[in-house]
Amino acid sequence: MKPSFQIDDTTQPVRVLLTGEIDGAVVDGLTAAIARWTPASDRPPTIVDLSGVTAVGAGARDALVQFSRALVPKVGRHAYLATTPQLRGLVLWVLHVARDVEGRTVGNDGQAQKWLAGDAGRLESHFRLAGIDEIPARAREGKKEELSLGERVGATAILWISRITFGYFPAFTRELVHTYGLQGVKQWGEAVEGAVGALTERFGDETAQLLIALAAVWNACSYCTIGHLYALNVLYFRRTGRLFPIDEREVPRWYTVSDEALIERIVERLQTDEFEHLIPLVRRQFEIRTAGPEIAESDDDRAIVRANAAWDLVNECTIMIDTDDIPPLHPGAARARGVQKAYGVKRGRGRR
């Protein structure tokens, strides 16, 4: 499909469309059109529709940052409609770099309309769904350009505390402080620990790690997808001596397929007597993601909502990480070095 763009402001919300195989030049053209565009009303609600994008080429990511910076002053609340994890992950990266706290990625038009009808910013919404009422100021204002000396020292301290407490160095600590500030990291930690605790209490360690990984799949965050599936695999291998049916390294390769196709691939791997009880949870998590947290009815649902929101907060920073050196993101699995080695051998790849 030939790439194209369009600004349709004949209806509300305004719809900005990108289609086909987009690259930096195509996005630059759209940015120039946005710069020339005068909205018919003051700062109209807007949907940036990427559902027709078939591929993302060279330069598109950086060009989208400039597009975001041109768009924000002209529109009000806005949503980016993207129907694959890869595109949502791309947009999350763009929003984060552009320091746009009013925009949000959504997976369908219904989600977009709900977002446009709200009033809280992206990070505020995530904090509240994760059970945190005191929102860090920086979550409302956008990340700082540079860390102060005190923040750099604090980020290093957090890094070592995490190594001692959890058994691994989180690769995103500095970005975390950039985004939430030192005080905000405390609220962030409460959100994440509360979500992990709720999941683990209801479902146990292994299933909790699966649901956390799938919360990250929505945002195409390979750091968390791989890290938590790796933790699940190590925990399961330690307990049984067998391999869990989903290899943590394969799931990020599925990010380019539609949401529905990706969930079906995961469900297909779980269709055995041992794991079929996980299928309703996986489907329900996806249903809550697509329909919205309002459909939560049970304690199981509410634990899933909390995890989805907490990992939206996590992925705000981990989406920036590009590394193959990803530890199992669970204290018990991270410290089980011998089990990690044996598991790698069982997978046929030796020690990581």
Question: What tens digit of pLDDT does each residue of 282-329 get?
Answer: 999 999 999 999 999 999 999 999 999 999 999 999 999 988 899 999
Lowest mean pLDDT, pick from 9-13, 162-166, 192-196: 162-166
What's the Cα-to-Cα distance from 231 to each of 162, 280, 310, rounded to whole Å?
A: 16, 21, 18
For tokens 């397929």, the residue is 257
Q: What predicted TM-score, i.e. pTM, was given to this entire model?
A: 0.93
**CB atoms inside a 10 Å sphere around CB 333:** 28
Whether 197 shows a pLDDT value over 60: the answer reads yes
The whole-angstrom separation of Cα 276 and Cα 268 is 10
pLDDT band, very low/low/confident/very high, at 1 (cuts 50, 70, 90) = low
Mind listing the pLDDT tens digit for each residue in 43-90? 999 999 999 999 999 999 999 999 999 999 999 999 999 999 999 999
Residues of the chain within CATH 3.30.750.24 domain(s) are 4-119
Q: What is the pLDDT of residue 350?
A: 61
Is the pLDDT confidence value at 236 over 70? yes
pLDDT score of 351 more than 90: no
Residue 194 clears pLDDT 60, i.e. is over it: yes
The predicted-structure confidence for 121-178, as pLDDT tens digits, reads as follows: 999 999 999 999 988 888 887 777 788 888 888 888 888 888 888 888 888 999 999 8
The CATH architecture assigned to 4-119 reads 2-Layer Sandwich (3.30)
Phi, psi of 16 (to 5 degrees): -105, 120
Q: CA of 171: how far to CAs of 85, 114, 134, 209, 324, in Å?
A: 22, 34, 26, 19, 11
Mean pLDDT, range 211-228, rounded to an integer: 97
